Chain A
Amino acid sequence: DVKVTQSSRYLVKRTGEKVFLECVQDMDHENMFWYRQDPGLGLRLIYFSYDVKMKEKGDIPEGYSVSREKKERFSLILESASTNQTSMYLCASRQGGASYEQYFGPGTRLTVT
């Protein structure tokens, strides 16, 4: 079974702090994704990566950056957290090729006060 783990289930940070969210997958998947999930808005793509050290902006990259130094690990960085970044953050991975199935981690609920 594919397993995607996220470093924290719940996180509370203060405005202006630098925040790191870590995601690890154990199936050697090429593609990894970071989404945020807000009520009524569904899942919105922040950044994705199709290979080590490769990244592409999603629909809402402003205020975020990412790092993928190893194939199994994809990190999301909030350089200076703001209250409007309070949200559920979901990481996902996907094998390359024809299958679009994405495997999700359990999510990190981030609160910025």
Chain B
Amino acid sequence: TQLLEQSPQFLSIQEGENLTVYCNSSSVFSSLQWYRQEPGEGPVLLVTVVTGGEVKKLKRLTFQFGDARKDSSLHITAAQPGDTGLYLCAGAKETSGSRLTFGEGTQLTVNP
């Protein structure tokens, strides 16, 4: 059973378009992280959101944590080819100690 579900699984868009990736769960998380993974490399942390309703911006990327801390979204404005990669959400629970639960990932391709 996948505790964190990401959608869409694949996304192919043209440069300059906007997009949103969703991460949903029926469980409550104490924090949620977004990672980006490029081919041949390990995931790299983009952001951590902790408070329900929190919004964080990282240049053209906007991250939101749901009010109930069960879901999150990643919005990219004016996507560029350099945004291409696998985007992973990961949730932490206080009862799980050091462990993170990862979503399946969203493979984003931005075509020039």
Residues of A at under 8 Å CB distance from B? 4, 9, 31, 33, 35, 40-45, 48, 50, 58, 90, 92, 94, 96, 99-107
Q: List 14 A-B contacts (CB under 8 A).
A: A35-B102, A40-B104, A42-B88, A42-B102, A42-B105, A45-B100, A96-B98, A99-B48, A100-B90, A101-B33, A102-B90, A102-B100, A106-B40, A107-B41
Do residues B98 and A94 form an inter-chain contact, with CB atoms below 8 A? yes
Whole-angstrom CA separation of A86 from B57 in the bound complex: 38
- Other A-B contacts than A42-B102, A50-B97, 13 sampled, CB-CB below 8 A, are A4-B42, A40-B104, A42-B104, A43-B88, A44-B102, A90-B42, A100-B48, A100-B90, A101-B48, A102-B45, A103-B45, A106-B41, A107-B41
B9 within 8 A of A: yes
B51 within 8 A of A: no
Do residues A48 and B98 form an inter-chain contact, with CB atoms below 8 A? yes
Whole-angstrom CA separation of A92 from B4 in the bound complex: 20
Whole-angstrom CA separation of A104 from B35 in the bound complex: 10
Task: Tell me the minimal C-beta distance from A82 to chain B in angstroms.
Answer: 23
Which residues from chain A contact B92 at a C-beta distance below 8 Å?
100
Do residues A92 and B42 form an inter-chain contact, with CB atoms below 8 A? yes
Which residues from chain A contact B43 at a C-beta distance below 8 Å?
43, 90, 102, 104
